[in-house]
Amino acid sequence: KVLAHYNGDGDAIGWQDFLQTLPALGQLAATATDGGKLAYTSAMVLKAQEDKTHAGAFIASLSNPWGDTKSAENSATGYKAVWPRDFYQVAMAMLAMGDRESPRIAFEYLEKIQASEKIAGYSGTPGWFLQKTHVDGEVEWVGVQLDQTGMPLMLGWRLWKEGVFSDAEITQWYHKMLKPAADFLVDGGQVKILWNDTLIKPPYTQQERWEEQKGYSPSTTAAIIAGLVSAADIATQAGDSESAARYLAAADKYSSELEAKTFTTNGSLTGDLGNGQYYLRINANEDPNDRSPLGTSNAQVIEDESQVIDGGFLELVRYGVRSATDKHVLETIPEYDNLNLPDLLRTKYEFTFPGVEGVFPGWRRYGIDGYGEEIKGGKGYVEANNSPDGRGRVWPFFTGERGHYELQLAKTNASLDLDTLRNTYVKGMELFANEGMMLPEQVWDGVGNNDAYNYPLGGGTNGATPLAWTHAEYIKLLRSYSDGKVWDRNASTEARYVK
């Protein structure tokens, strides 16, 4: 009886009923390489991340990472909280499956976590979205991450363009929530809440998408630019042509200065390691060629920012800020993919799976990442207690991010071979799922001591599982391959910057 109610048999309302409300899910399953098993599971996993009391509050994961060694005597939020960045991924994935209700309610929820005088203890410039909150909107973490202000603008624009919001509705949301967000991305301002008392001057961000470093970030800037172009379209619809022009002027300025602030021509990755020319993960100041130090994070001391490569530059292509064949993008890929980099700096790893033909790519967040199992003792991140021997592992959603880039590159070069892409990137993500069809935050990359857990190569570690972002990336990759175009690509941004 319980199972029947869970499934939705007879008069009961259950998961079968929910799946039937997703008109695009069938076509996504047909695009998969596993018959749709992970697609249908992901649909339910993503919906399960929504809080049952506060509608629209999509959390990052129903787990505590490395919870096997973390005491549960005291309550801890873990990943069971709202980050607008992870939230955006989930809302866009729900929309990709044809769900028009969940993304709408999610967007409306965002008003609860936008900085303003309504937030207890906040004073300063309104408009940005809080770093991390409880599902009821209670403040938890308060760093300013500017991509988390750009993404709500992108989401609102997309819901309007897909017809989820009418012209009148998006105009109301513009005045209520989106205009303050866009104004903050142009002007920045003083913010003060808990420990955070600082002046924000976009596109310089207090924290990038990994919540660890301040400076000029390609991935953050991509979201800022796409967010401002989206805001300009909405402002025009709302009759605010003056603001629309201001948003576009700021976006153009950020775009024109992007490489001057984030692309090094004097990087330390030279010789067998690269040619010294690539996008930095993040630049701590306005000079990308000075090899300046970054802040210490996860006990990792980074004395030279140009040693650190990551895939954030691919977001420039995903959102339409740069062409897939932009020379700066193409210059960065060899360093990002270099298998000859020492493990400390290397991001790309290749995986094989028993009984499966092929080699499948995966990437770490960035070089010199300490958020994972330690190398010497093999202990999990929590048990190792921020050890300098920590090592961040491969995150499966980067296989999806790269799969999106490769789709756009193939379209740009008129060389689309969708079967090869599916059997590399879609299948790769499917293989990273565990026996319960849960996609993990990180998988074992084969580097260092594995005695503590004996993870199989490519198997999930005890980081957050399931990670909503990973399941969302998989769904969006299926939608992109089904449509033959990148689902997250912002048409207005592309029209403005990709010639």
| Residue in 55, 25, 30 with CA at minimum distance from that of residue 41 | 25
Measure the CA–CA gap between 428 and 409, rounded to whole angstroms. Answer: 19
The answer for residues whose C-beta is within 8 angstroms of residue 172's C-beta and 6 or more apart is none
Active site residues: 208, 211
360-364 vs 394-395, strand pairing mode:
antiparallel
Report helix angle 468-483 to 37-48, nearest 10.
Answer: 130
Q: Are 347 and 363 in contact, with CB atoms under 8 Å apart?
A: yes
**Residue 306, φ and ψ in degrees, nearest 5:** -80, -5
